[in-house]
């Protein structure tokens, strides 16, 4: 389901929230480092859409039934904990390799790599004629992170805790991406601006999925 969501949603998105990088007016600065603390807020009103022509049936793609996200046994993305026995297992256990926190961090790394595998798929850029720039890749990354974190929240406390580890890994990755893009002197400022965009987007997306939201609201918010 994740690839289908991304193809349908990205075609409709040229996220207006990116204007906050230039204007700083879209969202107030959020200093909280926990994504779980963000509550849904009313979605902003959207401008009318310009007419579009597409050979892709977006409605059919968006409302299609979910499919399994299970990885094939031979998938290069499949990662499993090594099964050590004997003295090696005892030593690793003493080093807290099997602690809840350690296992959560390893699991979060696996989840984030799978998120990146969706964001980096060439088909997304080819089908919708997207330019692979930092701005566009970040848009896709935020959208996929929202899908992932929303799903983890549904698992309750354990899911929220795991989602926090995923979010921290995401933050570190974004910082590296910003640095590679040539930003060195104002790195902290850029990270705060990108954090505003991230939180602003996921709050608007969540609000668009509330029971009282209209059928088209998510499309409008992403636009």
Is 21 inside any structural domain?
Answer: no
Residue 92 has pLDDT above 50, yes or no: yes
Q: What is the mean pLDDT of residues 14-42?
A: 43
Mean pLDDT taken over the chain: 74
Total residue count of the chain as it appears in this document: 223
Token look-up 């720039």 returns: 133
Q: For residue 97, report the phi and psi dihedrals to the nearest 5 degrees.
A: -65, -30
Is 158 inside any structural domain?
Answer: yes
The torsion defined by the Cα of 33, 34, 35 and 36, in degrees rounded to 10, comes to -160
Residue 213 has pLDDT above 70, yes or no: yes
Distance, CA of 174 to CA of 100 (rounded, Å)? 26
By mean pLDDT, which of 48-57, 153-162, 172-181, 206-215 is the weakest? Answer: 48-57
The structure tokens listed for 222 are 């992403």
The pLDDT score that the predictor gives to residue 170 is: 95
Q: How far apart are the first and last CA of the chain?
A: 20
Is 29 inside any structural domain?
Answer: no
Total tally of structural domains belonging to the chain: 1
Sequence-ordered alpha helix ranges (H) in the chain: 2-12, 20-23, 58-62, 86-94, 100-119, 122-127, 134-153, 157-180, 187-208, 217-222
Is 130 inside any structural domain?
Answer: yes
By mean pLDDT, which of 48-62, 79-93, 100-114 is the weakest? Answer: 48-62
Which has the closest alpha carbon to 61: 128, 113, 109, 157? 128
The pLDDT score that the predictor gives to residue 28 is: 32
Residue 50 has pLDDT above 50, yes or no: no
pLDDT tier for residue 57 given thresholds of 50, 70 and 90: low
Which has the closest alpha carbon to 58: 13, 15, 4? 4
**CA distances (Å), 29 to each of 1, 37, 44, 137, 161, in order?**
32, 14, 17, 22, 23
Of 169 and 124, which is predicted with more confidence?
169
Is 121 inside any structural domain?
Answer: yes
Asked if residue 141 lies in contact with residue 114, where contact means CB atoms within 8 angstroms, the answer is no
Is 212 inside any structural domain?
Answer: yes
Is 125 inside any structural domain?
Answer: yes
Residue 142 has pLDDT above 60, yes or no: yes
Q: What percent of the chain stands above pLDDT 90?
A: 27
Is 190 inside any structural domain?
Answer: yes
Of 70 and 2, which is predicted with more confidence?
70
Q: What is the mean pLDDT of residues 94-121?
A: 87
Residue 120 has pLDDT above 50, yes or no: yes
The pLDDT score that the predictor gives to residue 40 is: 45
| Domain hosting residue 109, numbered range | 99-222
Q: What is the DSSP letter of 13?
A: -
Q: What percent of the chain stands above pLDDT 70?
A: 69
Buried b (16+ CB within 10 A) or exposed e, 65-79: eeeeeeeeeeeeeee
What secondary structure does DSSP assign to 56-94, as a single string? S-HHHHHTSPP---PPPTT-TT--------HHHHHHHHH
């Amino acid at each position: 389901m994740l690839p289908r969501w991304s193809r349908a949603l990205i075609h409709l998105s040229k996220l207006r929230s990116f204007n906050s990088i230039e204007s700083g007016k879209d969202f107030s600065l959020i200093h909280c480092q926990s994504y779980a603390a963000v509550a849904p807020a009313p979605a902003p009103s959207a401008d009318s859409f310009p007419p579009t022509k597409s050979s892709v049936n977006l409605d059919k793609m968006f409302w299609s039934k979910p499919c399994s996200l299970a990885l094939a046994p031979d998938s290069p993305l499949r990662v499993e904990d090594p099964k050590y026995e004997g003295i090696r297992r005892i030593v690793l256990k003493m080093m807290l390799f099997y602690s809840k926190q350690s296992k959560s961090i390893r699991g979060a790394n696996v989840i984030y790599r799978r998120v990146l595998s969706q964001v980096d798929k060439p088909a997304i850029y080819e089908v919708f004629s997207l330019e692979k720039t930092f701005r566009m890749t970040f848009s896709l990354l935020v959208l996929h992170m929202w899908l992932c974190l929303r799903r983890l929240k549904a698992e309750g406390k354990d899911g929220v805790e795991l989602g926090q580890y995923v979010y921290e890994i995401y933050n570190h990755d974004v910082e590296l991406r910003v640095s590679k893009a040539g930003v060195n002197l104002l790195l902290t400022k850029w990270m705060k601006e990108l954090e505003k965009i991230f939180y602003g987007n996921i709050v608007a997306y969540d609000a668009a999925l509330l029971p009282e939201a209209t059928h088209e609201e998510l499309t409008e918010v992403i636009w």
